[in-house]
């Protein structure tokens, strides 16, 4: 024991030293990553990427055989795959004709193709690239061939509203957050292997310069965890050495200091660089401990740690701290605890409510894909807060319940009164209306906890109590979250309704306003003469639309109208007059926040933007410039509109809301997710501005907008499903947190006593529970993964089949509808037919609701229904190399593959268009994007169902595991109790087991052992009785012989005196009689001692305070001037259930022996001490005598053994029997020359508690 306690501080100091080492190492890594400028590191990484690509390009150039096979399209499949995996786009030209390409993302510009060899930095439509041009000669070529490698540096897409087209660096997607390509010279030049400057980079303005890198952050986090573990061990040591209150106070002050330190020095761990600590996600400006979701998590974690530690250190139920001794102190503490209970409950409810209402965290559990990492963190924080609240209340109830024992009605009344008074003093109806049901819940919660005879409080197995309280808190939190979700949903629908009322597109206004900045009067006046030339006018209009307006606002069809000073049209392609457009702008349109920009409503309640600009110069007015932008109507499955879509709930396809807009009581616009009425009756117009209505399974919000407009927002009502799913999520979060907490406690115990084998051995109950939980989780993962995989495969298979059917139909239609019976290949070469073919392609695309691309036999794009994708450089005009390989090289009739553009993935089918002779005239491509909303919804519904089922399975499995383990363990407990009750001195009963199972076999063996033991006990008892009688006879003979000898000698001496007629016969007779009486008294004492030892088991136990026994004995020694008697008693009563007379005899013997042991000393000191353990009291009797010799220590409690020259040797044997009969034990510690201390440990008459607190 001593060695173990000495090793604990050493292990804990080792933990602290390891934390210091990790912290020191983190500063070294931070120095390595940050002392050197970050831009230099980015510069080296980018140059390594370029130099590596140069080396690989050189390898391709050096392999002449490979170049020839690529030129002749004879490369092997491994070579084909190798070229696809190159980081650059490889293009081979023979003259001006392209012969090979391996990428569809870029294309060398003409200046590079016809330029000189070397490396140059080029700016293409979709980003920055490095073009590496070389010439080579191969036998199959007529002359030198041009080999160009185009290495992507930065993919740049200027579409901020697109969810797919994101600007990223090719070598590192995260680098764009740190650096940018500089438009001019900077200190950080990027060079190729020949040290030629290619371009410059510069840091972004938001480049984090003080935050540590990932390695340093992980090392510091590990060091922080080790420090916390060390503090936990120190707090436990303080509790053992100095008491529970000091240990709790130490942990409280330490955690509070650490929390304040993290707030004052946020740069220590650079927590603010993580989005979890972003106040935009969640934040309470007025409370620094709740400043963000991360701050709330740390606060909840520390609070949970402190409350759990406090609960475990407070000891058994009914034990109160010493400062609460006395009725008045107890009542005062109870009142303070009641206020803390009420205030803490309100604060807990406020934080839960705020976490839902004041954050952008999604708790929409019905839509699985709307949940993110913040949702997971939110559920964990809720579980942490709830666990903290549970242990916090249990600690307070330890003070409250004893004060109101027998008067629980007063407890409920005081709690309700205190809560109502507190709410009365608060302002704000909303807070009061929220806190009133919380107060009612607190009363019910207190009533359940206070019922000590309630079934859940009588569970001895902690799993049952844990499941019960997890169920209660999951239901309670689900109710609060559901209410707040309803409020957020109502406010969101109000905002949506107001937006539909405004009927403007804020993002469109913003982007169009940026485009109009460049179309100022100076630009238009300078280019006005060019509009008068028809060809120049067409080119200039196309340039303005494609480079300015469409670049910013691609969701609209834009037309430009120009009128001269006389308001006559100038080469306009449409017959709109100046009067019509001016009237539309001035009278029918409504102004926006952008100058010169207005919008007006069309017949179907669409809105169109119109811009008017007066153009003038020094000579006067030149004319008027109109720009009209109308919404484009895209095919729902086309690729192009999806590229520029902003996904999320703002997208009408993803939104769970259905809308309808009524004007003059007629439906003018609606979504197809809900069946709205085509017209409204006069009684259906809402009377107030906002009105909620229920229509079957839908919840409708009616908004009476301005004028004669009514907006209706409908959403399906899934209250029951949402409630069950929310409960399931919370239930699983609680289970996960409880399991995590048990694992953390296991690690703490392992760190303290890692060498004990018992720590790594689990009982049967734990093994059964763990097995059932593991099977549940494993089945959930396997079934979920298999089912989701099936959904995805079925979805892709259906899409492929649908795409193949669509492509087949389009191919046949293209072949049947060629102009003038010309083959398509000839039409592509005829300029007169290109326009007609473009119309045909557009019609086919419109009919079949897809995009259509047409490539010539050499793989070059000729026609497209969405040419903007290629004009903007999102894709080059060459056919995808994999599809080209399969259709041209492998001569397949069609090929389906998955392609990607930035982060957008889509299916694409390629088909060969042939004539009757099987000759390929063209290749058809249909890129097919089908939004995965249906697939995600199907997967989401399945996951919601399986999570609900899994939560139900967990609950049922926990109950089943409880009964199974109870049945098994109760059998073992029964056998164990019977085995513990086995005694050689009594009748041992056999176990009756009705079932013939494995336990029945064990019971049969036990019963056989009992019968054999009974036979052995009978023989042993006979032998022991005979031995005992012999020993007793020997001892009695010895004890009787001792006084008989002096008696015999005295009588013989008296006889001799009488026979010799000595004169002092009378005096001698008196002396002999006195000696005989003394020896007879000694014989009587011997008889009495043996009688008491024989009757030691016949006690009469009763409930009494052991202090009364010690107090009666104290008076016998405090008056003795030779003895210094000191009694250190505990303030609270120590109730034991034992025989009072036996206890008096026990401590009388111990005190008598102590006084006799130090009687020879001039300063005899007797010290009596008391220590209260969990359910025991330890009383020590210490003397300052000479101690017990080592050779006598082992036999000290043996009957008839004594260290004195006289006595029966039964005193300490009787003490041992009395202590053991009372359920305790006795032992001693002695030191030669310093004295001896006897310890008596007795059980206190007390109860026990159960439930979730034992988890």
Return phi, psi of residue 183, to 5°: -75, -25
**Would the pLDDT of 642 be above 80?**
no
Per-chain mean pLDDT for the chain: 78
CA 54/CA 60 separation, integer angstroms: 10
CA 1226/CA 1188 separation, integer angstroms: 16
Contacts of 317 (CB under 8 A, 6+ apart): 398, 1246, 1247, 1248, 1249
**Would the pLDDT of 35 be above 50?**
no
- As a whole number, mean pLDDT of residues 249-264 equals 88
CA angle at residue 471 from 469 to 472, to 5 degrees? 65
User: What are the sequence ranges of the domains in the chain?
Assistant: 37-203, 498-716, 762-816+932-980, 849-930, 998-1087, 1095-1243
CA 25/CA 363 separation, integer angstroms: 40
Top-confidence range, 645-649, 713-717, 1195-1199: 713-717
Give CA separation, 492 vs 487, 649, 685, 719, in Å: 9, 11, 21, 17
Q: What is the DSSP letter of 221?
A: H
pLDDT score recorded for residue 26: 77
Top-confidence range, 148-157, 401-410, 577-586: 148-157
> Are 308 and 232 in contact, with CB atoms under 8 Å apart?
no
- As a whole number, mean pLDDT of residues 570-588 equals 80
pLDDT tens-digit series, residues 1100-1121: 788 888 888 888 878 777 777 7
Residue 600's pLDDT band (cuts 50, 70, 90): confident
pLDDT score recorded for residue 290: 81
**Would the pLDDT of 122 be above 90?**
yes
Strands 698-704 and 709-716 turn out to be antiparallel
How many residues in total does the chain contain?
Answer: 1255
pLDDT score recorded for residue 2: 41
Greatest C-alpha distance within the chain: 179
Site of tokens 């510009």: 109
String of DSSP letters for 329-398: HHHHHHHHHHHHHHHHHHHHHHHHHHHHHTB-----TTSGGG--HHHHHHHHHHHHHHHHHHHHHHHHHH
pLDDT score recorded for residue 692: 87
pLDDT score recorded for residue 983: 65
The reply to whether CATH 3.30.565.10 applies to domain 1095-1243 is yes
Cβ contacts of 743-750, under 8 Å, gap ≥ 24: 748/229, 748/232, 748/233
**Would the pLDDT of 954 be above 80?**
no
**Would the pLDDT of 1079 be above 70?**
no
Q: Which residue has the higher pLDDT, 1238 or 576?
A: 1238
Return phi, psi of residue 1181, to 5°: -125, 115
Contacts of 753 (CB under 8 A, 6+ apart): 4, 759
Strands 197-203 and 590-591 turn out to be unpaired
Residue 79's pLDDT band (cuts 50, 70, 90): very high
pLDDT score recorded for residue 1240: 92
- Lowest mean pLDDT segment, chosen from 699-703, 813-817, 944-948, 1142-1146: 813-817
pLDDT score recorded for residue 632: 59
Six-digit token string for 1246: 């007390």
- Lowest mean pLDDT segment, chosen from 21-30, 721-730, 827-836, 978-987: 827-836
Burial-class residue 264 by CB neighbours within 10 Å (0-12, 13-18, 19+): exposed
CA 559/CA 335 separation, integer angstroms: 78
- As a whole number, mean pLDDT of residues 490-504 equals 74
pLDDT score recorded for residue 359: 82
> For 566, how many CA atoms within 13 A lie in the half-sphere containing its CB?
3
Burial-class residue 640 by CB neighbours within 10 Å (0-12, 13-18, 19+): buried
> Are 654 and 672 in contact, with CB atoms under 8 Å apart?
no
Q: Which residue has the higher pLDDT, 702 or 431?
A: 702
pLDDT score recorded for residue 9: 59
HEC string of 683-742 equals: HHCCCCCEEEEEECCEEEEEEECCCCEEEEEEEECCHHHHHHHHHHHHHHHHHHHHHHHH
**Would the pLDDT of 906 be above 90?**
no
Cβ contacts of 463-466, under 8 Å, gap ≥ 24: 463/765, 463/769, 463/958, 463/961, 463/962, 464/962, 465/1250, 465/1251, 465/1252, 465/1253, 465/1254, 465/1255, 466/738, 466/1251, 466/1252, 466/1255
pLDDT score recorded for residue 180: 87
**Would the pLDDT of 210 be above 50?**
no
Residue 274's pLDDT band (cuts 50, 70, 90): confident
CA 755/CA 742 separation, integer angstroms: 19
> Are 1203 and 1167 in contact, with CB atoms under 8 Å apart?
no
String of DSSP letters for 1080-1126: HHHHHHHHHHHHHHHTTT---EEEEEHHHHHHHHHHHHTT-TTEEEE
In this structure, the dihedral spanned by the alpha carbons of residues 1077, 1079, 1082 and 1083, taken in order and rounded to 10 degrees, is -100
157 alpha-carbon distance from chain centroid: 35
- CATH architecture of structural domain 849-930: 2-Layer Sandwich (3.30)
String of DSSP letters for 1019-1044: HHHHHHHHHHHHHHHHHHHHHHHHHH
**Would the pLDDT of 3 be above 60?**
no
3-state SS, residue 197: strand
- Lowest mean pLDDT segment, chosen from 13-17, 45-49, 1007-1011, 1033-1037: 1033-1037
CA 1216/CA 1214 separation, integer angstroms: 5
**Would the pLDDT of 565 be above 70?**
yes
> Are 707 and 661 in contact, with CB atoms under 8 Å apart?
no
pLDDT score recorded for residue 340: 92
Six-digit token string for 915: 């004539």
Six-digit token string for 1139: 């025989």
High-pLDDT (> 70) share of the chain, %: 77
Return phi, psi of residue 618, to 5°: -65, -25
Residue 548's pLDDT band (cuts 50, 70, 90): low
| Sheet of strand 658-663: strand arrangement | 666-670, 658-663, 709-716, 698-704, 690-695
Give CA separation, 639 vs 157, 655, 866, 869, 905, in Å: 16, 20, 9, 9, 10
**Would the pLDDT of 648 be above 60?**
no
pLDDT score recorded for residue 551: 43
Of 1086, 647, 1249, nearest to 903 by C-alpha is: 647
CA 833/CA 788 separation, integer angstroms: 49
| Sheet of strand 179-181: strand arrangement | 179-181, 197-203, 188-191
High-pLDDT (> 90) share of the chain, %: 11
pLDDT tens-digit series, residues 699-720: 888 988 766 788 888 888 877 8
String of DSSP letters for 468-501: HHHHHHHHHHHHHHHHHHHHHHHHHHHHHHHHHH
3-state SS, residue 930: coil
> Are 1219 and 1210 in contact, with CB atoms under 8 Å apart?
no
Q: Per DSSP, what are the bridge partners of residue 912?
A: 923
**Would the pLDDT of 398 be above 90?**
no
String of DSSP letters for 224-266: HHHHHHHHHHHHHHHHHHH-HHHHHHHHHHHHHHHHHHHHH-G
> Are 381 and 355 in contact, with CB atoms under 8 Å apart?
yes
Residue 136's pLDDT band (cuts 50, 70, 90): very high
Residue 1253's pLDDT band (cuts 50, 70, 90): very low
pLDDT score recorded for residue 646: 45
């Amino acid at each position: 024991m001593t060695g173990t306690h000495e090793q604990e501080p050493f292990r804990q100091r080792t933990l602290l030293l390891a934390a210091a080492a990790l912290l020191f190492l983190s500063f070294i890594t931070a120095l390595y990553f940050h002392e050197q400028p970050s831009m230099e590191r980015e510069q080296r990484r980018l140059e390594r990427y370029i130099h590596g690509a140069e080396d690989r390009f050189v390898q391709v150039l050096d392999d002449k055989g490979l170049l020839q096979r690529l030129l002749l399209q004879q490369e092997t499949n491994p070579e084909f795959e190798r070229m696809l995996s190159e980081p650059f786009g490889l293009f081979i030209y023979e003259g001006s004709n392209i012969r090979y390409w391996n990428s569809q993302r870029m294309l060398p510009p003409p200046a590079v193709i016809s330029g000189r060899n070397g490396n140059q930095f080029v700016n293409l439509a979709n980003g920055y690239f490095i073009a590496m041009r070389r010439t080579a000669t191969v036998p199959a070529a007529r002359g030198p061939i041009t080999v160009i490698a185009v290495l992507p540096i930065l993919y740049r897409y200027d579409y901020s509203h697109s969810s797919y087209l994101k600007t990223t660096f090719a070598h590192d997607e995260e680098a764009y957050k740190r650096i940018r390509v500089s438009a001019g010279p900077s200190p950080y030049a990027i060079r190729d292997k020949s040290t030629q400057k290619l371009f410059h980079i510069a840091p972004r303005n938001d480049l984090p310069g003080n935050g540590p890198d990932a390695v340093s952050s992980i090392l510091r986090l590990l060091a922080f965890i080790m420090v916390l573990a060390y503090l936990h061990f120190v707090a436990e040591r303080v509790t053992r050495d100095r008491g529970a209150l000091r240990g709790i106070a130490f942990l409280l002050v330490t955690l509070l200091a650490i929390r304040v330190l993290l707030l004052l020095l946020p740069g220590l761990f650079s927590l603010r660089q993580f989005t979890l600590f972003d106040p935009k996600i969640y934040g309470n400006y007025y409370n620094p401990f709740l400043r963000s979701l991360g701050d709330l998590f740390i606060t909840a974690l520390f609070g949970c740690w402190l409350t759990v530690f406090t609960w475990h250190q407070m000891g058994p139920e009914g034990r109160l701290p010493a400062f609460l001794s006395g009725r008045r102190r107890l009542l005062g503490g109870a009142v303070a605890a009641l206020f803390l209970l009420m205030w803490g409950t309100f604060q807990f409810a406020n934080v839960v409510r705020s976490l839902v209402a004041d954050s952008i965290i999604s708790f929409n559990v019905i839509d699985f894909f709307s949940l993110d990492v913040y949702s997971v963190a939110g559920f964990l924080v809720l579980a942490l807060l709830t666990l903290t609240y549970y242990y916090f209340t249990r600690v307070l109830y330890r003070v409250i319940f004893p004060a109101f024992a027998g008067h629980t009605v007063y407890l409920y009344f005081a709690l309700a009164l205190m809560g109502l008074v507190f709410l009365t003093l608060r302002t704000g109806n909303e807070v009061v209306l929220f806190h009133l049901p919380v107060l009612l819940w607190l009363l019910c919660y207190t009533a359940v906890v206070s019922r000590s005879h309630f079934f859940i409080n009588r569970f001895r197995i902690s799993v049952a109590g844990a499941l019960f309280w997890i169920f209660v808190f999951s239901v309670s939190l689900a109710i609060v979250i559901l209410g707040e979700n309803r409020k957020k949903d109502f406010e969101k629908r109000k905002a949506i309704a107001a937006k539909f009322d405004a009927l403007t597109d804020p993002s469109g206004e913003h982007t169009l306003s940026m485009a109009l900045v460049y179309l100022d009067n100076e630009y238009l006046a300078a280019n006005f003469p060019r509009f008068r030339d028809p060809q120049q006018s067409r080119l200039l209009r196309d340039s303005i639309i494609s480079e300015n307006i469409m670049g910013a606002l691609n969701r609209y069809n834009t037309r430009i109208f120009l009128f001269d000073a006389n308001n006559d049209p100038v080469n306009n392609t449409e017959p709109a007059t100046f009067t019509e457009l001016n009237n539309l702008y001035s009278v029918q349109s409504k102004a926006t926040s952008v100058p010169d920009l207005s919008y007006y409503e069309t017949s179907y309640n669409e809105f169109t933007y119109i811009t008017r600009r007066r153009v003038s110069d020094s000579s006067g007015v030149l004319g008027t410039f109109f720009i009209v932008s109308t919404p484009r109507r895209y095919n729902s499955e086309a690729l192009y509109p999806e590229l520029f879509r902003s996904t999320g709930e703002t997208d009408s396809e993803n939104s769970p809301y259905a809308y309808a807009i009524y004007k003059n009581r007629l439906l003018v616009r609606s979504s197809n997710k809900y069946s709205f009425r085509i017209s409204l009756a006069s009684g259906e117009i809402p009377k107030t501005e906002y009105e909620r209505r229920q229509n079957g399974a839908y919840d409708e919000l009616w908004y009476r907008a301005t004028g004669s407009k009514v907006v209706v927002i409908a959403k399906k009502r899934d209250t029951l499903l949402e409630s069950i799913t929310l409960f399931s999520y919370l239930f699983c979060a609680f289970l996960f947190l409880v399991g995590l907490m048990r694992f953390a406690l296991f690690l703490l115990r392992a760190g303290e006593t890692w060498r004990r084998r018992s720590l790594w051995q689990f009982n049967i109950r734990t093994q059964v529970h763990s097995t059932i939980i593991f099977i549940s989780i494993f089945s959930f993962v396997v079934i979920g993964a298999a089912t989701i995989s099936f959904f995805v495969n079925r979805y892709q298979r259906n899409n492929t089949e649908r795409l193949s059917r669509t492509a087949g139909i389009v191919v046949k239609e293209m072949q049947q509808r060629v102009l003038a019976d010309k083959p398509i290949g000839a039409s592509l070469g005829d300029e007169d037919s290109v326009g007609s073919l473009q119309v045909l392609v557009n019609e086919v695309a419109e009919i079949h609701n897809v995009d259509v691309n047409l490539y010539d036999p050499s793989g070059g794009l000729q026609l497209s229904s969405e040419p903007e994708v290629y004009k903007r450089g999102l894709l080059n005009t060459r056919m995808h190399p994999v599809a080209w390989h399969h259709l041209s090289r492998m001569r397949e009739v069609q090929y389906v593959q998955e392609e990607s553009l930035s982060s957008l993935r889509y299916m694409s089918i390629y088909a060969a268009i042939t004539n009757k002779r099987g000759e390929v005239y063209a290749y058809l491509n249909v890129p097919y994007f089908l939004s995965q909303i249906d697939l995600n919804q199907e997967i989401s519904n399945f996951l919601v169902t399986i999570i609900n089922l899994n939560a139900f399975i967990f609950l049922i499995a926990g109950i089943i595991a409880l009964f199974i383990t109870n049945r098994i363990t109760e059998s073992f407990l029964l056998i164990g109790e019977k085995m513990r009750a086995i005694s050689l001195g009594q009748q041992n009963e056999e176990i009756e087991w009705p079932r013939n199972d494995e336990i029945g076999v064990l019971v049969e063996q036990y019963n056989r052992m009992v019968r054999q033991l009974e036979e052995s006990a009978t023989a042993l008892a006979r032998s022991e009785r005979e031995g005992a009688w012999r020993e007793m006879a020997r001892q009695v003979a010895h004890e009787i012989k001792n006084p008989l000898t002096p008696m015999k000698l005295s009588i013989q001496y008296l006889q001799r005196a009488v026979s010799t007629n000595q004169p002092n016969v009378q005096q001698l007779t008196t002396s002999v009689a006195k000696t005989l009486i003394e020896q007879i008294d000694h014989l009587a004492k011997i008889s009495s001692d043996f009688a008491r030892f024989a009757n030691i088991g016949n006690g009469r136990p009763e409930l009494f305070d052991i202090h009364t026994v010690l107090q009666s004995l104290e008076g016998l020694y405090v008056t003795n001037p030779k003895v210094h008697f000191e009694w250190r008693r505990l303030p609270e009563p120590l109730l034991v259930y034992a025989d009072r007379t036996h206890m008096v005899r026990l401590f009388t013997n111990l005190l008598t022996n102590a006084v006799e042991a130090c009687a020879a000393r001039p300063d005899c000191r007797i010290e009596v001490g008391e220590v209260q353990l969990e359910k025991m009291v330890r009383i020590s009797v210490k003397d300052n005598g000479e101690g017990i010799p080592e050779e006598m220590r082992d036999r000290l409690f043996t009957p008839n053994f004594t260290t004195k020259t006289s006595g029966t040797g039964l005193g300490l044997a009787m003490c041992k029997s009395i202590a053991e009969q009372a359920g305790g034990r006795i032992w001693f510690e002695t030191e030669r020359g310093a004295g001896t201390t006897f310890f008596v440990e007795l059980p206190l008459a007390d109860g026990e508690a159960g439930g979730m607190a034992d988890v």
